[in-house]
Amino acid sequence: MFKEIKSVAIVAGKTRVMCHNVQRRPKQYTLFGLRLVYVLVYGARMEYTHYIAANLESRGGKYRAALKYIDEDGARRKTTKALKATGKRAAQKELEQWREEMEADWGQRQREGAALAVLGFEPETVLTVAAYVRRYIDGKRPSIDPSTFNEYGRLLDNIISPLLGEVALSDLNPDMVRAWVAKMGETYAPGTMKKALTLLRSACNQAVDTDLLGKDPTRGVKPPKAGRPRPNSLTAEGVRTVREVLRVAGMTPAMLGVKIALYTGMREGEICGLRWANVDTDSGVLKVEDSIGRDGTRFYAKDPKNDGSARAVYFGSELAADLVARREEMEAACRAAGVPFTGALYVLGDIRGGFMRPNTIWQRWRNLAEALELKGTRGTRPTFHDLRHTFATMAVAAHVDIKAISASMGHSNAAMTLNIYADATAEGKQRAAQTMQTVLSGGEA
């Protein structure tokens, strides 16, 4: 049995348990990654007590409390306090209350120290919000995409740190978080604030899980309400113009990427990451299994955005003919260069196995949109990503099954698709108005 465990100290990321009246050699064990040193002594029940003795000292009718303890180096120490009580019984009660408070405070420091040690911090460090969130982000790095890691860093540096960064994590509370959301919401869009709050909340949840915090300080705090997304889709006239230009000007790799986006709703990274092994022109199916991501100035191949993004996308005969022509072109180039044509080659890439970078396809589209003076449904120049919006908007307007659209887009659910694209076009609103006029007039249009 244990007799008494008199103190637990966190030193240099390790846990040491100090025992009073120890006569046996300590043994070492590992618990949750911390080295735990304890002593087996035969005796009474197990106690977790730091302050091993509490005494009253009386001088001139005044009482003083004394608490004895053993520090992390094994040395006996004493701390004292002048008491307000004038009678011995009252002084004894005040002594016990003080001892309980000191024990509770010491216990909290030990729990915080243990959590800090697990995270690699020195126990004496005042852990700020910025330092903890940074450590949380660094801990997530092996399991998240580099672009997500960089985005987390920007959210921390630009949104979380300016107002909350120097606040001690243990001092953070819901009122502070609400004030931060309100203030930063004056500068940043609701969607961006939602991402920042989600990051802070995730970090705080980890702090609760590791006993560094008792409660989540972001509890009950909601981000600014975002308005309904308004996609800047191409108008019907804009679509006709783009299709005619693509027909007349010829199908370069970048322009093929434009057509794939317009006809399938795929993301630019997915289009650049499309390999021939995942193209079936006979069945009219593209398998989205790869994407091209960006880490600063470096582009790299990666998995799709999320689980729903890995999907099968169907296309028609017109796009199939363009893909067949592109494949024949690459096969001829491979023969001329004396290299094999394989399914690992990228559809928009080169015969050496390289891929087209997303910023290249963005730039080609921007040049085309400016040359054609295109305007989207919001009256602004449509971006390459707006081709994806155009596909979904026109599919909804054409009464294509919403679940089929959602699956093709890689959305998490059909409700998301409806929220973004339902009645996004002027034509759709006009049809709705005409339909309601017919209904309300008893069938007379």
Residues 152 and 80 in one domain: no
pLDDT of residue 13: 37
Stretch 206-228: mean pLDDT = 89
CB of 309 closer than 8 Å to CB of 291: yes
| Long-range contact set of residues 207-213: C-beta below 8 Å, sequence gap at least 24 | 207/115, 207/132, 207/169, 210/115, 210/118, 210/119, 211/111, 211/112, 211/114, 211/115, 212/111, 212/112, 212/115, 212/116, 212/119, 212/127, 212/132, 212/169, 212/170, 213/169, 213/170
Domain annotation covers residue 220 = no
158 and 195 in one domain? yes
- 311 & 423 share domain: yes
Q: What is the pLDDT of residues 29-78, one digit of tens each?
A: 443 344 433 333 333 333 446 777 888 888 877 888 888 888 767 778 78
Question: Quick one: pLDDT at residue 336?
Answer: 97
**C-beta separation of 294 from 355 below 8 A:** no
Domain count, the chain: 3
Contact present, 224 and 193 (Cβ < 8 Å) = yes
Same domain, 107 and 151: no
Say what angle helices 414-421 and 402-409 make with each other, to 10 degrees: 100
Name 82's bridge partners. 64
User: Which of 10-19, 105-114, 145-154, 362-371 reaches the highest mean pLDDT?
Assistant: 362-371
Residue 214 included in any domain: no
Provide the pLDDT for residue 16.
39
Pairing of β 285-288 and β 76-82: unpaired
DSSP bridge pairs for 56: 65
Report pLDDT for 42: 32
Full-model pTM: 0.61
Distance in angstroms (rounded) separating the CA atoms of residues 267 and 292: 10
Are 264 and 389 within one domain?
yes
| pLDDT mean over 325-334 | 97
Q: What percent of the chain has pLDDT over 70?
A: 79
Residues of the domain holding 266: 236-433
Q: Which has the higher per-residue pLDDT, 262 or 127?
A: 262
Q: Are 361 and 385 in contact (CB under 8 A)?
A: no
Average pLDDT over residues 263-284: 95
Q: Say if residues 54 and 95 touch (Cβ distance below 8 Å).
A: yes
Structure tokens at 126: 């005042």
Assess if residue 59 is contained within a domain.
Answer: yes
Q: What's the CA gap between 239 and 311, in Å, rounded?
A: 25
